[in-house]
Structure 1
Amino acid sequence: MKKTFVILAALACATAAPSFAQTRMAPVGATKTPAERAERQTQALTKQLGLSPEQEPKVESILQAQMTDLQALNEKYPAGNRRGLGPELKASKAKYDEQLKAVLTPEQFAKLEQLRQERMQKMRDRRK
């Protein structure tokens, strides 16, 4: 009886372990649509910049268009071949920054720029 129990326990562990090993988490942001990412970012900007109820839908539509464009660029330039991506990213950022300037107050836009600079500095610090 004891021997049978040990064999069954070993068999259960042997068949269960591979099933746990094969489950993987999706990369962050990989499964979210541009609309979902834009909504999440709008919520964060609402807290950080104090967006008014009138500004929220405008900012969200701008961010959704930007996320859609970024997704298209990501598909256009696969991971192994990113040459030419830089100028297109800069043009995209300038386009959407102009749209955001039209919606945000000067104080909010300055705060947005400050938040971006802080995020870039954190990324540089992590790379060191």
Structure 2
Amino acid sequence: MLSKRFILFVLPLLAGASLASAQVASAARKPQPAAGAVTTTVEDRANALTANMTPALGLTPAQVEKVRAINTNSVRNVEAARQRFRQDPGKLRGYIEDIGLARLEQLKDVLTPAQFTRYQRKREEKMGIPTSQGAQGTPPPGLGRPDSE
């Protein structure tokens, strides 16, 4: 089940979940697209991801550049997979999952253990994955005991 949640997190993340930040960052460099048209480049999305991660994880300048390269490569690979497998969603999900796992391993090599733990915790919060404490508490809606209603 983790793989589905991972995909649900990574796909929007790499696809531009930080679109607002990307637009703010890119607004200084180029004019805004016409109303209703949303176009962001691979670099814009990678920069937005990196910009969000930098203060949240307290990245050093050296880490920022490494993380930006990892994010750029991952976003580029997701875009290539989207083009290649747009007619085969099953294969696309598999490739995106592989890209996400590779990104995670690369980030693990760049971040300190404390930063990586913080990154994982924030990632799990965004994905809605219950923590070990939460898993022992109240079940998600609809999954409670029938006699408790």
TM-score normalised by length of structure 1 = 0.68
Identity %, equivalent residues: 31
**Unmatched 5+ stretches in structure 1:** 1-22
The answer as to 2:119 corresponding to 1:93 is no
Residue number in structure 2 paired with 1:59: 67
Matches within 5 A, 1:33-112: 33-78=41-86, 81-112=88-119
Distance across 1 between alignment mates of 2:115 and 2:49: 15
If the length of structure 2 is used for normalisation, what is the TM-score? 0.59
AA in 2 matched with 1:63: N
**CA-atom RMSD in angstroms:** 2.0
Stretches (4+) displaced over 3 A: none
1:26 is aligned to 37
TM-fit CA distance, 1:83: 2.1
Residue 74 of structure 1 aligns to which amino acid in structure 2? Answer: R
| Larger CA Rg, structure 1 vs 2 | 1
Q: What is the CA–CA distance in structure 2 between the aligned matches of 1:26 and 1:81, rounded to whole Å?
A: 26
Cα deviation for residue 75 of structure 1 reads 1.0
How many residues align? The count is 97
* Alpha-carbon shift at residue 59 of structure 1 (Å): 0.4
In structure 2, the partner of 1:121 is 128
Judging by fraction of residues, say which structure has more helix: 1
Amino acid aligned to 1:33:
T
Q: CA deviation at 1:81?
A: 3.5
1:101 partner amino acid? K
For 1:112 and 1:58, locate their aligned partners in 2 and report how far apart those are by CA, in whole Å.
15
Unaligned runs of 5+ in 2: 1-33, 130-139, 141-149
Bigger relative CO (Cα 8 Å, ≥ 6 apart): 2
